[in-house]
């Protein structure tokens, strides 16, 4: 857990004891607990985070400090963004009150609350308007007990700050938190903060600061967090931060900084977070962050950075989160990220990357989150992710690659989420092996979420893709050009959410009915032919009706909206009920008989079935010839390997045929065995019979509804 998440909530035990008026919209609260500051006196190192505790959906490394609302009423301003600073050695201020006001005037607050009351422990003001900028200030009577002053979004200028904090008679010996964010400060001086020697947190964000005096922080040696984001700073004076040796968090985001002098961060040896997002950085000096040996979070997003020299981050060995998104980086060289062995999150999205060296990630042993979304990558080396054995979330969306090399995720045994949206991918093959027929369910067994959407060229997904992700729970395939779904989708027994809408799918595979964990499915906006391939839906409806579970199929398939090609929403069941589909049946086959040598013979097998079945012939030499009823298919010869040479058995042939017919494309060819002709009606002609033609011939008929066989000798 990070140091800020260890901070206990300030004023968590406060309760309303006095009044809340509509006129001033203020609340007085009191605490019965102690207020101490030991947390920042002995800051611990950030403990190790277990891999199972990381939320890969979260914005890794972004830390927030939250408070429980001071008073649970609509009129009370929210109290957030502050930690509690504890001091176990003294119990001061436990009897003091905290004043919280919003949407009123400073004059009303001074007259009704500050002048009548001697001391406060905290003053929290939001949208408390300054009416006289030249003279208005906080009318404090005894500021020495104050621990927190928040005065934000109240058109405060430097005059109010000077009159409140820079007066010689004022002492803020216990002030720990000062928040002047979202005001009109354009300049600040050292004497504003010279009496705040115990200050831990200074927030000056969302003002109009355009420069900082080089000595501005000289009296704030105990500062732990400094927030300057959302100003107009364009440069940092030399040695500006040198007095801040205890600083842990520095936020310079959303400024106009265009240059970082080489020693910009000298003296910040304890800094753990540095935020430089949304500036105008184009080139930064080599190893400009070398002083930051404790740095864990570095945000350089949304600048104009083009590249990093090799070994740029070599001295930042504690870095865990690196955000480089939103720049114009074109390549990641072999050693650009070298040495970041503790890095857990890397965001490279929104750049102009066209090239990532195959060894660029080789030292990122602990990387868990990698985002390469929205770049211009055409090709990824097959071994580019090989070293990322701890990777849990990977986003490759919005790139230009047309294919992913086989075995590209062969080492991603920890992968939980994978995004492949909006690419030029045309097909997907085996991610865990170079061979498309290899299945290894162990490698991607942790993958739970797979998004492959909006790929306008993607027409095919190899069956091995689904076979290798057995524990998938969410599968998003919408807005592609898929014409079919592999039947192996039925092996995703843990699938809960499935979206294949807006494709060119011609039928829903029957194996969908085996997905008993499925809670949501979208099959809409496809090109369903409503033929025998979909006939199984009727039997599934009957099956669920017998279980009094009819509503499930209507919820999953959304039958009231599902339609046939060129049909109307909800017509699919009616259409299927009016078609005839049945498996092949043998009507006639040639008798087994002897034939004269050098004569011709015609072997006949006649089957019925709807749709008309394909006819498969298996010769004594284990050759498989297929005759397709489709006019655009030709005869095809399959060779089967059989070391025994005895022709095997009918079951063996059946398995071979089923494999060829049900798992391979309908590839056509003309290479028939010499002396054998497959006729147009599916009969087999054997020319000039020789002894090697003798043996068992099997004809095998198959359609979507089933199969039938006959043997001829």
Q: Which residues contact 547 (CB under 8 A, 6 or more apart)?
A: none
pLDDT at 24: 53
Rounded distance between C-alpha atoms, residue 693 and residue 598, angstroms: 11
Q: State which of 93-102, 389-398, 580-589, 686-695 shows the largest mean pLDDT.
A: 389-398
Helix (H) or strand (E) holding 584: strand 582-589
Q: Is 445 exposed, middle or buried (0-12, 13-18, 19+ CB in 10 A)?
A: middle
How far, CA to CA in Å, does 270 sit from each of 92, 220, 244, 256, 277?
Answer: 29, 15, 9, 25, 20
pLDDT at 80: 40
DSSP state of 83: B
Tokens, residue 502: 């807006």
1-20: average pLDDT: 37
380-422, pLDDT tens digit by residue?
A: 999 999 999 999 999 999 999 999 999 999 999 999 999 999 9
As beta bridge partners, residue 299 has: 275, 323
pLDDT band, very low/low/confident/very high, at 311 (cuts 50, 70, 90): very high
Tokens, residue 202: 């200074």
> Is 207 strand, coil or helix?
coil
Query: Is-cis flag, bond preceding 553, omega within 30?
Result: no
Rounded distance between C-alpha atoms, residue 484 and residue 667, angstroms: 16
242-271, pLDDT tens digit by residue?
A: 999 999 999 999 999 999 998 999 999 999
Residue 119 has pLDDT above 70, yes or no: yes
690-711: average pLDDT: 88
444-471: average pLDDT: 97
Rounded distance between C-alpha atoms, residue 499 and residue 377, angstroms: 26
Tokens, residue 443: 């490698």
Tokens 């992700």 sit on residue? 469
Q: Which residues contact 510 (CB under 8 A, 6 or more apart)?
A: 487, 490, 536
Alpha helices in 474-566 (DSSP H): 536-546, 550-557
> Is 100 strand, coil or helix?
strand
Q: Which residues contact 7 (CB under 8 A, 6 or more apart)?
A: 39, 65, 83, 84
612-623: average pLDDT: 87
Residue 198 has pLDDT above 70, yes or no: yes
214-242: average pLDDT: 96
pLDDT band, very low/low/confident/very high, at 82 (cuts 50, 70, 90): very low
pLDDT at 1: 43
Rounded distance between C-alpha atoms, residue 114 and residue 140, angstroms: 6
Instruction: Count the residues in the chain.
Output: 713
pLDDT at 73: 35
Rounded distance between C-alpha atoms, residue 667 and residue 659, angstroms: 14
pLDDT at 63: 39
Q: Which residues contact 55 (CB under 8 A, 6 or more apart)?
A: none
DSSP per position, 627-655: E-SSTT---EEEE---TT-S---HHHHHH
pLDDT band, very low/low/confident/very high, at 177 (cuts 50, 70, 90): very high
DSSP state of 561: T
pLDDT at 638: 42
**Other Cβ atoms within 10 Å of 591 Cβ, number:** 7
How far, CA to CA in Å, does 520 sit from each of 341, 498, 543, 552, 602?
Answer: 40, 6, 19, 10, 54
pLDDT at 103: 94
CB of 712 within 8 A of CB of 594?
no
pLDDT at 642: 41
Average pLDDT, the chain: 83
619-629: average pLDDT: 83
Q: Is the dihedral of CA 270, 276, 281, 283 positive or negative?
A: positive
pLDDT band, very low/low/confident/very high, at 676 (cuts 50, 70, 90): confident
Rounded distance between C-alpha atoms, residue 691 and residue 369, angstroms: 66
Tokens, residue 331: 């390549």
How far, CA to CA in Å, does 14 sit from each of 64, 84, 101, 174, 625?
Answer: 21, 13, 15, 19, 85
Alpha helices in 133-254 (DSSP H): 158-165
How many CA atoms lie less than 13 Å away from 165 in the CB half-sphere? 28
Tokens, residue 11: 């004023």
pLDDT at 193: 93
* Rg of the chain, C-alpha, whole Å: 37
Nearest to 201 by CA among 168, 178, 181, 220: 178
Nearest to 201 by CA among 212, 209, 193: 193
pLDDT at 517: 93
Paired sense of beta strands 449-451 and 417-419, if any: parallel
pLDDT at 559: 81
pLDDT at 592: 79
How far out from the chain centre does Cα 389 lie?
17
Tokens, residue 644: 């025994």
Rounded distance between C-alpha atoms, residue 478 and residue 569, angstroms: 19
Tokens, residue 627: 């005759």
Rounded distance between C-alpha atoms, residue 203 and residue 243, angstroms: 17
pLDDT higher at 559 or 214: 214
pLDDT at 442: 97
CB of 678 within 8 A of CB of 595?
no
Nearest to 508 by CA among 562, 470, 448: 562
689-695: average pLDDT: 82
How many CA atoms lie less than 13 Å away from 412 in the CB half-sphere? 28
pLDDT at 64: 37
Burial of 190-228, coded b for 16+ CB within 10 Å and e otherwise, reads eebbebbebbbbbbbbbbebebbeeebbebbebbbbbbb
CB of 192 within 8 A of CB of 172?
no
How far, CA to CA in Å, does 376 sit from each of 398, 404, 423?
Answer: 8, 15, 10
**What domains are there in the chain, each with its CATH number?**
1-47+75-208 (no CATH), 583-712 (2.60.40.10)
Residue 683 has pLDDT above 80, yes or no: yes
Tokens, residue 547: 């279980």
Tokens, residue 298: 């570095």
Rounded distance between C-alpha atoms, residue 175 and residue 171, angstroms: 9
pLDDT at 674: 65
């Amino acid at each position: 857990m990070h140091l800020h998440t260890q901070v206990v909530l300030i004023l968590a035990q406060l309760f309303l004891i006095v009044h809340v008026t509509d006129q001033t919209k203020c609340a007085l609260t009191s605490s019965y607990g102690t207020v101490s500051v030991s947390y920042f006196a002995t800051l611990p190192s950030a403990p190790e985070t277990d891999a199972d505790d990381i939320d890969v959906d979260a914005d890794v490394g972004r830390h927030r400090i939250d408070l429980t609302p001071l008073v649970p009423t609509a009129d009370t301003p929210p109290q957030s963004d502050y930690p509690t600073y504890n001091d176990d050695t003294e119990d001061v201020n436990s009897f003091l009150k905290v004043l919280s006001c919003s949407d009123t005037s400073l004059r009303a607050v001074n007259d009704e609350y500050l002048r009548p009351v001697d001391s406060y422990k905290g003053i929290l003001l939001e949208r408390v308007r300054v009416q006289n900028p030249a003279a208005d200030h906080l009318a404090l009577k005894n500021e020495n007990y104050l621990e927190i002053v928040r005065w934000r979004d109240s058109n405060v200028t430097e005059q109010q700050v000077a009159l409140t904090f820079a007066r010689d008679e004022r002492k803020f010996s216990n002030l720990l938190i000062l928040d002047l964010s979202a005001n009109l400060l354009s300049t600040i001086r050292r004497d504003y903060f010279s009496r705040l020697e115990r200050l831990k947190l200074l927030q000056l964000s969302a003002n109009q600061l355009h420069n900082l005096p080089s000595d501005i922080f000289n009296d704030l040696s105990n500062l732990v967090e400094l927030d300057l984001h959302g100003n107009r700073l364009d440069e940092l004076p030399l040695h500006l931060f040198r007095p801040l040796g205890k600083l842990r968090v520095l936020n310079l985001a959303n400024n106009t900084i265009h240059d970082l002098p080489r020693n910009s961060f000298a003296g910040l040896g304890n800094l753990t977070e540095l935020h430089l997002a949304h500036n105008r950085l184009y080139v930064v000096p080599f190893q400009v962050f070398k002083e930051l040996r404790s740095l864990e979070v570095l945000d350089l997003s949304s600048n104009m950075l083009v590249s990093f020299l090799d070994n740029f981050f070599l001295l930042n060995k504690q870095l865990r989160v690196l955000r480089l998104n939103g720049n114009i980086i074109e390549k990641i060289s072999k050693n650009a990220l070298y040495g970041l062995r503790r890095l857990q999150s890397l965001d490279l999205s929104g750049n102009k990357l066209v090239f990532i060296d195959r060894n660029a990630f080789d030292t990122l042993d602990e990387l868990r989150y990698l985002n390469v979304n929205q770049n211009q990558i055409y090709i990824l080396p097959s071994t580019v992710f090989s070293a990322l054995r701890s990777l849990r979330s990977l986003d490759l969306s919005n790139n230009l690659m047309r294919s992913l090399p086989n075995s590209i995720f062969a080492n991603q045994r920890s992968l939980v989420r994978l995004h492949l949206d909006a690419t030029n991918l045309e097909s997907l093959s085996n991610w865990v092996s170079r061979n498309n027929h290899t299945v290894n369910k162990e490698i991607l067994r942790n993958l739970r979420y797979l998004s492959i959407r909006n790929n306008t060229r993607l027409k095919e997904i190899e069956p091995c893709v689904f076979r290798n992700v057995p524990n998938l729970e969410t599968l998003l395939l919408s807005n592609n050009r898929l014409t079919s779904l592999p039947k192996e989708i039925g092996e995703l027994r843990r699938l809960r959410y499935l979206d294949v809408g807006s494709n060119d799918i011609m039928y829903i595979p029957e194996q969908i009915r085996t997905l008993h964990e499925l809670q949501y499915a979208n099959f809409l906006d496809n090109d369903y032919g409503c033929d025998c391939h979909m006939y199984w839906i009727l039997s599934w409806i009957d099956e669920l009706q017998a279980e009094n579970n009819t509503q499930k199929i209507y919820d999953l398939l959304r039958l009231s909206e599902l339609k046939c090609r060129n049909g109307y929403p909800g017509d699919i069941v009616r259409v299927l009920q009016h078609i005839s589909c049945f498996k092949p049946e043998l009507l006639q086959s040639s008798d087994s008989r002897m034939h004269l040598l050098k004569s011709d013979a015609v072997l006949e097998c006649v089957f019925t079935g709807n749709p008309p079945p394909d006819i498969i012939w298996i010769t004594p030499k284990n050759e498989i010839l297929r005759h397709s009823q489709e006019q655009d298919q030709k005869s095809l010869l399959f060779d089967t390997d059989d070391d025994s040479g005895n022709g095997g058995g009918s079951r063996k042939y059946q398995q071979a045929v089923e494999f060829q017919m049900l798992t391979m494309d309908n590839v056509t060819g003309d290479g028939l065995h010499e002396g054998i002709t497959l006729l147009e009606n599916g009969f087999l002609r054997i020319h000039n019979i020789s002894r090697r033609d003798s043996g068992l011939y099997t004809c095998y008929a198959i359609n979507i509804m089933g199969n039938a066989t006959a043997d001829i000798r």
